[in-house]
Amino acid sequence: MSGERGSTRQRTGCAALALAATLAGCATPAQLIDRRAAALGFTREVLHGSRFDHLLFHRGVRQPGKPLHVYIEGDGAPYLDARTIARDPTPRAPVMLRLMALDSAPSIYVGRPCYFALAAPADCSPIYWTVARFSPEVVDSMAAIVERARGPDGAGVVLLGHSGGGALAVLLAQRLTNVEAVVTVAGNLDPAAWTELHRYSPLELSLNPSDRMLEGVPLVLHLAGAQDRVMPPELIAAAALEIGGNVRVVAAVRHTCCWEQAWISVLNSLP
């Protein structure tokens, strides 16, 4: 009898897991991220930048004299395969959302244009998650959001970005004032070298962060994963010579996996 009851419980548990997986499979990537952010206690809103709408998640209350930490996600899933552009580029593995959950400082997670189920407006086009993902209009719109979030006093900001979000963190730092730190995580710091390495189409309508030295920022740190084949450490190190800043290679880390192990020490070094 006990074996039968155990078997019944196992079947019931498996059925529950299968149902949960089915329900999760019906949710869109944006809905899954909304649920994860809500479970973490983040506040959600949508704001209009200079051109695009942006999803924001807030954590903590702004404190006078304290910089605002700004988290920027990677490129997500811009393509379904080598030739097919995705209709929804929203990340399936939101690295920066997980890392922001470890940060006790006042923080915002700034969504990129046309991501997170905001691709319907007329201003959105697939170019903004493909060849123009780092274009001037994308950077300008995100800069407007950061300026609005930090308030009229022009409080300091710390820019933190993963992969393509690392590229945007550097590009934003090149145009914003009072940037106290930039941290890139497996950052795409030289899109031209990256597309050449992987034989991808050039991002012909995008800016390249490595075209300018980043000046006037007290702390610039580039994290590279020792096992990252998407953004190899040597690619990041070469770009860092042009941008400036220190490179730290983190052992046993891949492109989207396991950055949490290094994040607490990073946070302890930030303003």
| Confidence (pLDDT) at 25 | 56
Q: Which residue has the tokens 């690295």?
A: 95
Checking if the pLDDT of 215 tops 70, the result is yes
The answer, yes or no, to whether residue 28 has pLDDT greater than 80, is yes
Does the model's pTM come out above 0.85? yes
- At the topology level, CATH places domain 40-269 in Rossmann fold (3.40.50)
**Cβ 71 vs Cβ 182: under 8 Å:** no
Say if residues 185 and 259 touch (Cβ distance below 8 Å): yes
Q: Is the pLDDT of residue 234 over 70?
A: yes
DSSP labels, 24-88 = HHHS-HHHHHHHHHHHTT-EEEEEE-SSSEEEEEEES---TTPPEEEEE-----SBSSSS-B-S-
Residue 37: pLDDT above 60? yes
Most confident of 56-70, 116-130, 256-270: 256-270
Query: Measured in Å, how far apart are the chain's first and last C-alpha atoms?
Result: 62
Instruction: Dump pLDDT digits (tens) for 166-203.
Output: 999 999 999 999 999 999 999 999 999 999 999 999 99
- Residue 219 to residues 79, 125, 169, Cα–Cα distance (Å): 34, 35, 13
DSSP state of 271: -
Q: Is the pLDDT of residue 235 over 90?
A: yes
At 32 the pLDDT is: 96
Task: Tell me the C-alpha to C-alpha distance, in Å, between residue 109 and each of 70, 199, 253.
Answer: 6, 31, 23
**Integer CA distances (angstroms), 120 to 85, 88, 187, in order:** 15, 10, 28
> β-pairing, 157-162 with 53-59?
unpaired
Any idea where the domains of the chain sit in the sequence? 40-269
- The rounded percent of the chain whose pLDDT value lies above 90 is 82
Burial of 137 (0-12, 13-18, 19+ CB in 10 A): middle
Q: Rounded distance, CA 4 to CA 142, Å? A: 59
In the chain the beta strands, taken as DSSP E runs, fall at 43-48, 53-59, 68-72, 107-110, 157-162, 179-185, 219-225, 246-250
User: Which of 66, 263, 266, 31 is CA-nearest to residue 155?
Assistant: 66
Evaluate if residue 22 carries a pLDDT over 90. no
Quickly state the pLDDT bin for 21 (edges 50, 70, 90).
very low
- How high is the pLDDT of residue 164? 98
> What phi, psi does 96 have (nearest 5°)?
-70, -25
pLDDT, tens digit, 9 for 90 and up, residues 82-104: 889 999 999 999 999 999 999 99
Q: What's the pLDDT at 26? A: 78
